[in-house]
Amino acid sequence: MEDNFIIANKSFNSRLIVGTGKYKDFQETANAVKKSQADIVTVAVRRVNILDKNQPLLMDYLDPKKITYLPNTAGCFTSEDALRTLRLAREMGDWKLVKLEVLGDKKTLYPNMIETIKSTEVLVKEGFEVMVYCTDDPIMTKRLEEVGACAIMPLGSPIGSGLGIQNTTNIKIIKEQSSVPVIVDAGLGTASDATIAMELGCDGVLINTAIAESRNPVLMAESMRYAVIAGRKSFLAERMKKRNYGRASSPEKNLI
């Protein structure tokens, strides 16, 4: 069955997007990405280390011609910083598909939705295709869609917390009312969390810490791959109805 993941008119096979932060080294990052079979990876924009001319480059381990780089604005607390970061990212390789995240608080890492909406508007006008990290407020996500976001990416719980999806109802409402893909972007801690997100009907998930901080990131990456596939297929198959009492699975006739 054809079930492609379409973002901004581009089709992807995998509904799992993985982050590339927090790994031991680029080799481990590359191994984990490979096992995850993700088609899209998020990347950050940072200053080149001038003093160390031989430091390895992410691009030497993950070929941007083979995998879609999704530049992010992690660490940006103002619209101005986020815009600057993504304009630089675009200059680096003509990346138009970007992940916007404007944070509002260092402790919770919750998004600042006022700055986020403002930035989305500007980026869309500049020709970017903007996937937006956001709160799980259906009014805010509707507004994001109205200003042209190409994907809505609400958090399940705070970034890097591993608490899983704490807001199932909101995520469901957001999915129901959105006409662009909905991707759970933060808080997933283990494979079953990814499956739950997909079973709720979300179009995809974005995972970094749950893979990178597991004891065996490469194995966890593979596990996430299957978790997302399982959740998606389960959603499409439409689960059975719940009952309050038991119902036998074997025929009750012709018992010996």
Partner 1 sequence: MNNLNVAKIQLNGDPYKINEGDSLEKLLISLKIQKGKVAVEVNGHIVERKKYENLILNNDDKVEIVQFIGGG
Active site amino acids: 99
Q: Which of residues 83-112 bind partner 1 (CB under 8 A)?
A: 84, 87-89, 91-93
> Looking at residue 240, what DSSP letter applies?
P
Dist. CA 147–CA 87, nearest whole Å: 19
Minimal distance, residue 144 CB to partner 1, in Å: 20
Rg over CA atoms, the chain: 19
* Cβ-based neighbours of 67, under 8 Å, separated by 6 or more: 33, 38, 39, 40, 41
Q: Which is nearer to partner 1, 3 or 63 (CB)?
A: 63
Q: Which is nearer to partner 1, 47 or 107 (CB)?
A: 47
Burial group, residue 55, by CB count within 10 angstroms (0-12, 13-18, 19+)? exposed
Name the residue with tokens 């593979």.
222
Q: Which of residues 151-190 bind partner 1 (CB under 8 A)?
A: 159-160
Single residue of 1, 2, 9, 47 touching partner 1 by CB under 8 A: 47
135 belongs to the binding site for partner 1 (CB under 8 A): no
Q: Which is nearer to partner 1, 181 or 217 (CB)?
A: 217
74 belongs to the binding site for partner 1 (CB under 8 A): yes
> Looking at residue 37, what DSSP letter applies?
T
* Cβ-based neighbours of 201, under 8 Å, separated by 6 or more: 172, 175, 176, 182, 235
Minimal distance, residue 211 CB to partner 1, in Å: 10
The phi and psi torsions of 102 (rounded to 5 degrees) equal -115, 115
Dist. CA 182–CA 110, nearest whole Å: 18
Minimal distance, residue 97 CB to partner 1, in Å: 14
Single residue of 26, 77, 226, 235 touching partner 1 by CB under 8 A: 26
53 belongs to the binding site for partner 1 (CB under 8 A): yes
The answer to whether 97 touches 64, Cβ cutoff 8 Å, is no
43 belongs to the binding site for partner 1 (CB under 8 A): yes
| Site string (195-224) toward partner 1, x via CB under 8 A | -----------x-xx---------------
22 belongs to the binding site for partner 1 (CB under 8 A): yes
19 belongs to the binding site for partner 1 (CB under 8 A): yes
* Cβ-based neighbours of 3, under 8 Å, separated by 6 or more: 232, 236
240 belongs to the binding site for partner 1 (CB under 8 A): no
How are beta strands 129-134 and 204-207 bridged, if at all? unpaired
67 belongs to the binding site for partner 1 (CB under 8 A): no
**Which residues contact partner 1 (rule: CB under 8 A)?**
19-23, 26, 29, 42-48, 50, 53, 57-59, 69, 71-72, 74, 84, 87-89, 91-93, 159-160, 206, 208-209
